[in-house]
Amino acid sequence: MNPTRKKRIYSILFVFLFSVSGISLILYSLNSNLDFFFTPTELKNNNIPPEKRIKIGGMVLEGSVERNGSEISFVITDYENSIKVIFDGIVPDLFQEGSGVVALGFLNNKIFYAKEVLAKHDENYMPPNIDIKNDS
Amino acid sequence: MYKYIFYFSLFIYIFSLVWGVLFTQEDFVQGNSFRIIYLHVPASFLSQSIYAAMAISSVIYLIWRVKLSAYLILAMAPIGALVTFLALFSGSVWGIPTWGTWWQWDARITSTLILFIMYLGLISLHNSFSNHEKADKLLSWLVIVGFVNIPIIKKSVDWWSTLHQSASITLTDKPTIDPSMLYPLIGSIIGFFGIVICLIIISSKVQIFKREKTKSWIKDYV
């Protein structure tokens, strides 16, 4: 290969590696700030001031949903730690016990007061009447 | 020649769409709203593939100075922007009945928005130059730098906690989507791919005419 082209290849590689390492450093330093929500375990380990608006996410604990008028309370869990959530409003259709949920609100006295509740679904798609054989 | 590829791809895409929308069962969690997957997944997949193709063209242009690959970058950028917009839009439409929101700043959605803005930025950057060769070179460098975003979009759902679910179809694992839904999805990806390739061919023809209009062979051709 002729030397000019060789030089160009090296400069492309250099620019690319330079931008990769630059972006990696930025992403590395942002770290968990890029997370969409806190899990209940992260919430326990981090000291988050009350009245600060945060998002928490996890699973809705089976049997924890209680409705009282328009108010709904449930427990978000990551199966290690859990936190009680109180929400006054309409939850999405996909909200159900044992499925994923993200709540936006603030923490006060170990109770999370949600302003907004979003449903999170997983990457499994299947017809409703299928036998689940090799699922754990 | 590409006309036949276009009609064939269009046929495959519409066939898969009809198959997926009318002749598959609904999802056990999402019901009928999962069916927008037959637009969302092909569009998202192509939005990243087109950028990767632009990056390859940029490398070829910068090393060998092949003029056609510079035209190709310009031909692909608007189509990439359109497809990325489709991916974002169909994702929003899908998000309303399932997540309960049409927009959230999670890592996957935000990085895809950055990709969309990058496409628009590249197009307007090239338009702002009167010296085409200079613009081609600058554009190629920027495309290569911006390629960093593609693996970030791809891995965003694994690296951070996101509202978006992780990938259903991966190279290493068994797909987590039932075969009855998977086959029309693969068909729709193939059809969409063919349609986009034909659009790129048409768009690159336009670029060649535009940039070579002073050459005598164009005058003979037209």
- For residue A136, the model assigns a pLDDT of 42
Q: How many CB pairs under 8 A join A and B?
A: 117
Domain ranges of chain A: 3-32, 35-120
Residue A105 three-state SS: strand
Q: How far is B193 from chain A (nearest CA, A)?
A: 23
In this prediction, residue B218 carries a pLDDT of 82
Asked whether the beta carbons of residue B100 and residue A91 sit closer than 8 angstroms, the reply is yes
How many residues would you count in chain A?
A: 136
Any idea of the CA torsion for B171, B174, B178, B182, to the nearest 10 degrees? 20
Give residue B9's identity as a one-letter amino acid code.
Answer: S
Residue A128, SS3 per DSSP: coil
- Per CB-CB distance under 8 Å, the chain A contacts of B168 are 123-125
Decide if A121 and B165 are in contact by the 8 Å CB cutoff. yes
H helices present in chain B, as ranges: 2-22, 37-64, 67-98, 107-127, 132-146, 149-159, 179-211, 216-221
- Taking alpha carbons only, the member of A34, A59, A29, A54 closest to residue A43 is A54
Judge whether residue A132 has pLDDT over 70.
Answer: no
Is B112 in contact with B47 (CB distance < 8 Å)?
A: yes
Taking any CB pair shorter than 8 Å as contact, residues of chain B touching chain A are 24-30, 34, 37, 59, 62-64, 97-101, 104-107, 141, 144-145, 147-148, 152, 159-163, 165-168, 176-178, 180-181
CA nearest neighbour of B168 among B29, B52, B55: B29
Partner-chain residue, chosen from A16, A34, A123, that has the shortest CB–CB distance to B107: A34
pLDDT in tens, B133-161: 999 999 999 999 999 999 999 999 999 99
Domains, chain B, in order of start with CATH, read 2-170+178-221 (1.20.120)
Mean pLDDT of chain B: 94
Q: Which residue has the higher pLDDT, B198 or A123?
A: B198
The pLDDT of residue B10: 97
| Fold entry, domain A35-120 | OB fold (Dihydrolipoamide Acetyltransferase, E2P) (2.40.50)
